Structure 1
Amino acid sequence: MSSQSSAAGSSYAQQAMLECALQVLDQPIALLAAGSVGDEQMSATSSLIPSSTVGVHLRHAHDHFRLLLESLGSSASASAVALDYDCRTPAPAFERSAETARAELLKIKRQLQQAFGEHAELMEKEVRLAATTPARLDFGTTVGRELWFVCLHAIHHYAFIRAILSGELGIDVGPEFGVAPSTLVNKAFRSQGKM
């Protein structure tokens, strides 16, 4: 493969991954904008999932996107990005306020568009990922792999949100909220008779 076709493939992969991440972020943004989830629903404690609220799950998913983006900014001139998802900070306003959560999610969406729109080869940049297991371990990965991880991590937490809103609070979240991108593609192929 020539370096030119490799660069084109990398650019396509980066754009596809960015679009996926933006779609993942659009799910809660649209849910909060629709108005059926307000402050009361954000902080309602689940009876099925211990210590869970919609706000806690949204904030946790947001944290991972935020930490990835912050690591890109702080490691911009380094050969490898240093990333640690365990360095989260409490954000009670985010967890209790639908408007604050929506504003913060929109901010992350803009930052993603800016970061990945300005740097053509960002997906392949090396990441040194720290993990506490409880011992601290370091892993080698890439920015693209970590962006994919934060998307799937968010979907996992959206599924909990779906259970709380639909199952406990009786709020319709639509058929795609909290569903993995691969599952949506699979459903589309099946509905078209392609599988």
Structure 2
Amino acid sequence: MYPLPDSKTAAGPGARYKVLVVDDEPTLRLGFSYALSDHDTDTAANGTEALHKLNAEDYDIVILDLRMPDIDGLRVIESLRRHGNLLPIVLCSAAITPSAALRAITGHVVDFLLKPVQPAELRGVVKHVLAPGESLFSQAMALARLGRYEEAIIKLQQADGTEPQIQAWLGILRAIRGGSLEGEAAAFSKLERQGLSDLAYRAE
């Protein structure tokens, strides 16, 4: 449904995307929409509203809050994946636990924003996800979003191994690539030790 972008087909830097921002805080929805004013941005106040909108319309990407009062972000992810929807999702929260991160990653969500979020990070993560460019790291993450972990690992192994972000993702993807309970336990242990500081998106 959502093929791996490449340098020939990915939209350019000025592309306009349809973005759904899901957060139960009205001020954050307004701020995120303003920061993404170069795109066609829609909002939802909770998980239920988000699922209704996602069933009714096509979006390019979702910026999704983790903690919401009705249906939390993880349940939104699981509902979409259960129905075969591989829409790119960026999980956004002030505090993402190792268990939440692992559930998201195994649901093909590998893009995280840690609140408070800067406008440059919002704009940057949309470009990072939808127009990944030719860097090995960007292409590896594009593969990981499709659950193609082995291919993603090969890309990361070809990249600059001294980068903490690359090493962190190599460790997580290696742990879960087989889809086994043992692998998930190993990934959980890694997340407990290092947190999301090296995994979360940061504007350059």
TM-score (normalizing by structure 2): 0.25
Point out the structure with the larger helix share. 1
Look at both structures and tell me which one has the larger radius of gyration over its CA atoms. Answer: 1
Which protein, 1 or 2, shows the higher relative CO under an 8 Å CA cutoff with sep ≥ 6? 1
